[in-house]
Structure 1
């Protein structure tokens, strides 16, 4: 696998298939085709986030992957984040940001900016990128057709004691009800849904939702075949710094207990476990800074990143 630092250059250079020997092409196809059949007409939820969103070449490579999946009979559903872009806009407007346990404190003024950036600029940029690559993307957010109903977060676990303590972080929500009809209608056609993680409360308030949480809730409700979380890291690393390619639920829980998984990776893995227990076959944490990482994960036997699920990679083409 290429290094993440090489990804932008690779994405700009593209691939000249004329330079690939015939026997190599045959081997690639022989590996890819069984995996394509495995995902035929299956739903794959893909969370696109991190700094890869700010690199035009990587964004174009991601868009190509999504179009290829749709053309191959897969139903890709894109949920995107936008933390760096939100921070940049708030800075321009001289609105200070504060975070509690990794979540942005979002007052009334801030949530309006968050919605504008996520459901406006970022969402339409991704839609346009997919459309430029030959796809037909449609941008929506969790408020559309009451897709994602959430409740305000009013308590959070203390990082040291894990005790739940009351908090006031404003208009930030956790998903409580998913109504995926609008996503079903879009994805069962020739269209590709691109979703901004903005939800609505039962009282009609706009709520900012963590993109991982949004994608996880949607994947669980739709019983997706896979949930892919594109981030800025390769995946879970062991104590020597090497990538852990696969984890069962029990193995992941043990790595948390023995201190191998630490910091912000703990809630991410705990969220992955919940998604698998809800019926999604597997969740994969992938480095979005590696060009075409989505295709590497879904259409090769070795995959990419760390897979957490009930089935091993070796069974993928069965």
Structure 2
């Protein structure tokens, strides 16, 4: 396609999104890849320049594990869940807010944008309650474990986001919440992104991950579902097609769409400029969840 045709194709999408809010969540796998992260940041800054208010929520699981290993702290993961004791929470806070958050703000600045780092603790942006004990299967035996300083979103106050975003800043949000006792709690970044999208009245929620979207067969790139309703996504969960790390992403997308977020998307952040391709082209490149 000629360059001018690409721009013409993008025009109606740009016009529709101008002045709206879009929440983008980047997973830890994208963050540890320098080239992938730079492409995503370029896209985000471009969106801000054409009048779209972007809110960036980030994870950082692989980086947390790397730093813990360097410090001689063995990560404790049971049934895919990170056990977050006091020492682990210190590392999580240091990595997400001190390392990843500040690096993303710096990258935004290097491409002409204005980023500002936030967490749930800033202005009580989002509060959480400590999760209780969870039953898991370990070596075929059911056990009850305490996840430690892991929280579930209790409330969201979007005022801080609205204030900084209205001044042209791109909020960069770490998924660290605060509880009523002032303790830091680690919250799933997919959940944080979805709850923020709902509470700020976002038009779109976008999950950037390391796969092309929701696929019937993970080994078959042609089996991707380009569009689906929340009801259809729920059926895929029940059938076991949606599993593992894709579950919280799909759950957040379904909840967002059911709570007046117009559309939610799951994209492969490792594909160059997938964010722009999904938002501004007719075909798109990932999985879109919509009301139907």
TM-score normalised to structure 2 length: 0.92
Cα distance in 2 for residues equivalent to 1:283 and 1:172? 25
Q: Which residue of 1 aligns with 2:274?
A: 293
Cα distance in 2 for residues equivalent to 1:129 and 1:50? 16
1:154, 1:166 within 8 Å by CA — same for their partners in 2?
no
Displacement of 1:254 in angstroms is 2.0
The reply on whether 1:96 has 2:77 as its aligned counterpart is no
Q: Which residue of 2 aligns with 1:275?
A: 256
Q: Which residue of 2 aligns with 1:45?
A: 23
TM-score normalised to structure 1 length: 0.85
Displacement of 1:167 in angstroms is 3.8
- Find the partner of 1:237 among 200, 211, 215: 215
2:191, 2:248 within 8 Å by CA — same for their partners in 1?
no
Q: Which residue of 1 aligns with 2:146?
A: 168
2:204, 2:262 within 8 Å by CA — same for their partners in 1?
yes
Cα distance in 2 for residues equivalent to 1:31 and 1:157? 50
Displacement of 1:283 in angstroms is 1.3
Cα distance in 2 for residues equivalent to 1:126 and 1:265? 24
Superposed CA deviations along residues 119-152 of structure 1, whole A, max 9, x for unmatched, are 0111011111111011011111111000010011
Written as runs of structure 1 = structure 2, the 5 A alignment for 1:14-53 is 24-53=2-31
2:79, 2:137 within 8 Å by CA — same for their partners in 1?
yes
> Does the C-alpha gap of structure 1 residues 109 and 130 become closer, same or farther in structure 2, counting only changes over 3 Å?
same
2:207, 2:267 within 8 Å by CA — same for their partners in 1?
yes
1:135, 1:191 within 8 Å by CA — same for their partners in 2?
yes
Cα distance in 1 for residues equivalent to 2:22 and 2:163? 15
2:207, 2:249 within 8 Å by CA — same for their partners in 1?
no
- Find the partner of 2:51 among 70, 73, 78: 73
Written as runs of structure 1 = structure 2, the 5 A alignment for 1:90-169 is 90-156=68-134, 167-169=145-147
Superposed CA deviations along residues 7-46 of structure 1, whole A, max 9, x for unmatched, are xxxxxxxxxxxxxxxx712211111110001111110000
Displacement of 1:259 in angstroms is 3.2
For structure 2, the 5+ residue unaligned runs are: none
